[in-house]
Each structure stands twice: as C-alpha cells, then as structure tokens.
Amino acid sequence: MKRIVTNLALFLVCFAVIAFIVSNKKNAHSNTTKEQVPQSLEIPRIINSNVSGTIIKHTGYTVSFNSDWNIPNWVAYELTKEEVAGDEPRSEHFLPDPEISNCPTTDDYKNSGYDRGHMAPASDMKWSETAMKESFYLSNICPQNHNLNSGDWKSLEEHLRTMATQYDKVYIACGPIVSASPKTIGKDHKVTVPAAFFKAVLRQKGDSWSAIGFMFANEAGHKKLSTYAMSIEDLQIVTDLDFFYNLPDKIEEKVEATYSLSDWDLK
C-alpha cells in the first residue's frame, strides 16, 4: 500500500512538471510577436534581433514600425491591376498613425529640408478611400530627399504599377536603410533620416516567378533605374531582412539569386 501511495505521489509530481512545461510553451507561443509570424509573401522578417518593430496591418499595407527610429523598418503590400485602376482621389492629409503611441507628426518635418516620403505610395492605394487615407499615416513616411522623392523613387513606383497591369500579382516590400550614426529631424520625436531606401519586388504570372531588388541613396540624383537594381540576395545582406521566404525553397533560391534587367523592362 505504501508503494502504491509513493508511486501515485511520484506520478502526480511528474504530471505537474509536464503540465508546467506545456503551459510555459503555450505562453511562449502566445507571446510570439507578429514579427515572427508572417502572414503573406510580401512581408519580410528582420534578421537582426536587436531591431525592434511593431507590426500593424492597415487596409492597403502592413508596416513594421520602429519606435526607436520613429520610421518604419519596412512597409509591404500586394499590388494588382485592379488596384492600379482605382480612381480614389489623392488625400494629401498626413496624420499620426492611431495604432502607434507617440507617433511622429507633420511638425517633425517642418523646415527640415526633407519631404514626407511615402513608402507605400498613395497612387497604389487609389482602390479604396480607407487605403488612401491610411497611406498618409506617418508610420508609412520617412524623411526623403526631395529630388529622390519626386524623381527616381517616383519613377520606380510608376514602373511597378505598369508591371502590376501585366502580371497576376506584384509583391512589394520597401523601407529605409539606416546608418550607424544617423541624423534626426524634429524636436518632439527625433525622426531618423535614412541613409538610403530599398525596394524588394516579387511578381507572379501563372507558375512563373521573378524578383528584383533596388537601393537608392537618400540624395539628389537622376539615373537610369537599372543603376539601382540588384539581386534580392545582395539586398538582403544590405538590409538585414529576409524577403520572400514563404516561397517554396526551389522558387525562392532561383528568384533571389539572379535578376534580368530586360525581363523587368529596365535599361
């Protein structure tokens, strides 16, 4: 009888330990950030664990907002020919993102010498009144050189809209590249000025996939878009981001290793 009691007690202790471990695993899983649980092809994941990011899903795009920099780590969205054909007028009303505590405001950009540069462009959000309004949230904005914003960066945005009319889907991830000792603007929020910007683009037509990366210095200049092009593999090294990892391995390896300028109508 004593042995039975002892065995029962041992069983209860083991059961309690197992329950504790399972509970901890469940809690750990429930505390996993959205950064670790990607939802779609365009959303990258941050390789550098020291970089913070709060992920917010808006109507037309998803943003990983860095509250240390007060700009996004990245902005990602899917673009189709139906969306490009939208006719919603441009908003022009820049607003703090209501999902972000202490979000930057337009005051931070006043007299800074920098444009309020969209990451997900307003012209890609013409398919929805809400998407258009949310594209002007300051979480989607970075301090950007005016010549770049209205020049080569805009030219690439227009080029990708053309791509979207010719393919089933275009997936775009874009954002800033921040130097080790960045400049800031704004007295209230110290908004980081990026050294450069990137775009990672994946397109699909039936069973055919291709991808290309771009990097622009945050400075004036007018060059051919091909000048800024690079492979996704190289862009991942520069940005410390992992793009398009939800693709099947064979497709991912192929599209990330190489790119063709002529295939993307670039000269």
- Quick one: which of 171, 180, 169 has its CA closest to 244? 171
Nearest to 146 by CA among 218, 246, 42: 218
């999902």: which residue's tokens? 99
Using alpha carbons, list the distances in angstroms from residue 199 to 10, 74, 221. Answer: 59, 9, 17
Give the integer Cα–Cα distance in Å for 159 and 162.
5
pLDDT in tens, the chain (267 residues): 444 444 444 434 343 433 333 333 333 333 333 333 334 899 999 998 788 899 999 999 999 999 999 999 999 999 999 999 999 999 989 999 999 999 999 999 999 999 999 999 999 999 999 999 999 999 999 999 999 999 999 999 999 999 999 999 999 999 999 999 999 999 999 999 999 999 999 999 999 999 999 999 999 999 999 999 999 999 999 999 999 999 999 999 999 999 999 999 997
State in Å, rounded, how far the first CA of the chain is from the last one.
87
CA distance 27 to 29: 5
- Whole-model pTM? 0.84
- CA gap 227, 93 in Å, rounded: 33
- Two structure tokens written together for 149: 């914003």
Q: Annotated active-site positions, please?
A: 118
